[in-house]
Amino acid sequence: MLLSLYRSLHGYRGFILGSVQREFQARYRNSLFGALWPIFNPLSMIIVYTVIFSHIMRARLPGVDDGMAYSIYLCAGLLAWGLFSEITLRSQNMFLDNANLLKKISFPRICMPVIVLINAGINFAIIISLFLGFLLVTGRWPGMALLALIPLIALQMMFCAGLGMVLGVLNVFFRDVGQLFGICLQFWFWLTPIVYPITILPEWLQSLLRFNPLTNLIASYQNVFLYGQWPAWSSLLPAFLIGAAFCAFGLHLFRQRVGEMVDEL
């Protein structure tokens, strides 16, 4: 089954890469600065958070008396969250947005999530390299621990892809799923320690938040960037298992419903 999926993906690699490239071209087509825009956006985010939180509001992480620390903490969390929300939000609409194509042209449908993943991956790579540049300039280069980003990102991509696939298929049949997930995402964001450190919460709430698979995942990013610390791999096991379950369920749902989906679009 996976082999046949791989084979159809390989056969359509030209289409997948072409679509990714086109999406970038299309987005910045009639603009003067073109390729600079994907850089300006995250750059402004980093600057805004640094200036506002560490210099204007003088926010400090508990136990660290360093102006930059909080902004790095914030950026690390936001970047990781950005990857998560981009993939899931785009995945849930990938079949609906391409309804015309799916209805009229025969190509392996599994290309759609792959295109979403690659696109989000490239966006993320741009942002991460900017952020790393920023860390280098401010003398806070995390060092070897950066290598931990590779498995971290892979794990997160898997988690997002699985969840996105489930949402994408369900959204075709029940449009409520899209609306509902939008709301869920709001709550999820604030129930994940991104803006605040988990240590400021009461004990009982902290243990509750541990059930959120993203809590440890994002904490790992924050530790890598802020302290140059390797992640505690065992703490990521739940995220891995849930992600794998999402993938298996998503793939099952996809294979089961892909035929019916076209009738419904």
Partner 1 sequence: MGHIRVTGLGKAYKQYPSRWSRLAEWLIPFSRLRHNQHWVLQDLSFEIPAGQAVGIVGVNGAGKSTLLKMITGTSRQTCGNIELSGRVAALLELGMGFHPDFTGRQNAVMAGQLLGMQLEEIKALMPQIESFAEIGEAIDHPVRTYSSGMQMRLAFSVATARRPDILIVDEALSVGDAYFQHKSFERIRSFREAGTTLLIVSHDRSAIQSICDTAILLDGGRLAMHDRPEAVLDYYNALLAEREGQTVRQEMLSGGHVQTVSGTGEAGIVRVRLLDESECSIEAAEVGQSVVLAVDVEVRQDIERLVLGFMIKDRLGQPMYGINTHRQNQALENLCAGERITYRFAFVMGLGKGNYSIALSLSRLDSHLDRNYEWRDFGLVFHVINNRREDFVGCSWLNAQTTISRDTEVSRVEHTP
Binding site for partner 1 (CB under 8 A): 11-15, 18-19, 22, 25-26, 29-30, 100-107, 173-174, 258-260, 262-263
The least CB distance from residue 84 to partner 1, in Å, is 26
Per the CB < 8 A criterion, the answer to whether 9 and 111 are in contact is yes
The 10 Å Cβ neighbour count of residue 28 is: 14
The least CB distance from residue 107 to partner 1, in Å, is 6
Structure tokens at 1: 């089954």
- Whichever of 18 and 34 has its CB closer to partner 1, that residue is 18
**Using only C-alpha atoms, what is the Rg of the chain?**
20
Q: Cα dist. 251→53, 168, 245 in Å?
A: 42, 11, 10
The least CB distance from residue 30 to partner 1, in Å, is 7
- Whichever of 14 and 143 has its CB closer to partner 1, that residue is 14
- Whichever of 25 and 207 has its CB closer to partner 1, that residue is 25
Structure tokens at 4: 């046949």
- Whichever of 13 and 210 has its CB closer to partner 1, that residue is 13
The least CB distance from residue 17 to partner 1, in Å, is 8
Structure tokens at 117: 């993943």
- Whichever of 74 and 110 has its CB closer to partner 1, that residue is 110
Sign of the C-alpha dihedral computed for residues 66, 72, 73 and 75 taken in this order: positive
The least CB distance from residue 181 to partner 1, in Å, is 16
CA atoms within 13 A on the CB side of 204: 0
